[in-house]
Amino acid sequence: MRNRIKAVFFDIDGTLVSFTTHTVPDSARRAIERLRESGVKVFISTGRLLKHASIVKDIPVDGYITVNGGYCITSSGEVIFEQAIPRQTVERVLDLSDKHGFVVSVMTHEDMYVARSNERVEKIAKMINITPKVTDVRAVAAEQSVVQMCPYISRELEAEIMPLLPELMSSRWIETFMDLNVRGVDKSLGVRKVMEYYGLSLDEAMAFGDGGNDVPMVRDAALGVAMGNACDELKQVADYVTLSVDEDGIAVALEHFGLI
C-alpha cells in the first residue's frame, strides 16, 4: 500500500482541525511530516477560502484545493484550476435570498461576506472561528469574482430552491448551511485536477474527510477515510473509518495502511 499511494488529501474542519480546540493535533502534524519525508505529496482539500486555510499555514503541504474544488493552487502559488460562479447566477441566488428571507454568504478570493448576521451565521462563525464581514453583498458580487456561496438554510428550503438553480450543486458538512458551487465542481474534481497536474492518477490518491462535501473525494480516491466524527453519509462510502480528530484519527489511519 505504501508504494501505491503518491498523494494524500486532507479536509480541514473536523478532519485536521478540531471543532473543540480549533487546532491541529500534534499527532497529525507528525504524521504529515513523516508522509512528506517518505516522498508522498500532501494537499489540503477544504470548503474554505485559501485565505481561511491559513489556520494550517504552518503545516508544509504541496498545494490546496479550496472552496470545494473551485480553486486549486500549488504551495508556490501556481493556479491549477479555477471555476467561479457566473455573475447572473450569483444575482439569482441573491434574489432568492431576498424572496425567502435567508442569509447567504458570498465568498471571493478576498473574504467571506454576508448582508446581515443571525443565529445561524453566528453559530458557524463560532464553530470554525471565522466571522464573515457584514456588507452590501451585491456590491461585492459586482466588483469581485464569486467562487462559492453559502446559504444558511434548512434542507427543506434547499429542496425548494435548488430546482431553480440547475447550473449549481449543493453540499453540506453541517445542517446549519450549505455550500453552492458550479455543477460538476466538487472536491473529487479538485483531486483529479491536482493529480493530473503532477502526472499522477486517481488510483494513487488517498483522502480524509468528515462532512457531506467530502463524499465525492473520499468515494473516488483509491483510499477514502472517514473520521470517527464523520457524518453517516461519508462513513458509508469510505474504505476505512478511523478515530475522531481529537483521538488522533489521522495518525491511526495512516499507520493502519502502512504509510507512516
Same-domain status, 189 and 178? no
Q: Say if residue 175 is in the same domain as residue 62.
A: no
Q: Domain range holding 139?
A: 87-182
Task: Pick the last residue of a domain from 182, 197, 215.
Answer: 182
Task: Specify whether 167 is located in the same domain as 96.
Answer: yes
Task: Provide the percentage of residues in the chain whose pLDDT is more than 70.
Answer: 99
Residue 113: φ, ψ to 5°: -130, 145
Please report, for the domain that includes residue 252, its CATH number.
3.40.50.1000
> The CATH number of the domain where 136 resides is what?
3.30.1240.10
pLDDT tens, 119-169? Answer: 899 988 888 888 999 999 999 999 999 999 999 999 999 999 999 999 999
pLDDT digits (tens, 9 = 90+) for 170-201: 998 888 889 999 999 999 999 999 999 999 99
DSSP 13: B
- Mean local confidence (pLDDT), 46-51: 95
Give the list of residues 6+ apart from residue 103 with CB closer than 8 angstroms, or none: 97, 114, 115, 116, 117, 118, 120, 121, 151, 152
On the question of pLDDT at 1 being above 70, the answer is no
Given 182, 215, 240, the domain boundary residue is 182
Is 229 a domain residue?
yes
- Has this prediction a pTM greater than 0.75? yes
Exposure of 79 in the CB half-sphere (CA atoms within 13 A):
7
Task: Note whether residue 1 is domain-resident.
Answer: no
Q: Tabulate helix, strand, coil % of the chain (nearest 5).
A: 40, 25, 35
Q: Pick from 135, 160, 182: which residue ends a domain?
A: 182
Same-domain pairing of 226 and 141: no
**Is the model's pLDDT at 216 over the cut of 70?**
yes
Helices assigned H by DSSP within the chain = 26-37, 87-100, 119-128, 137-143, 155-161, 187-197, 215-220, 232-237, 249-256
C-alpha cell at 231: 457524518
Answer yes or no: do 77 and 192 share one domain: yes
**How many domains in the chain?**
2
**CB–CB of 25/220 below 8 Å?**
no
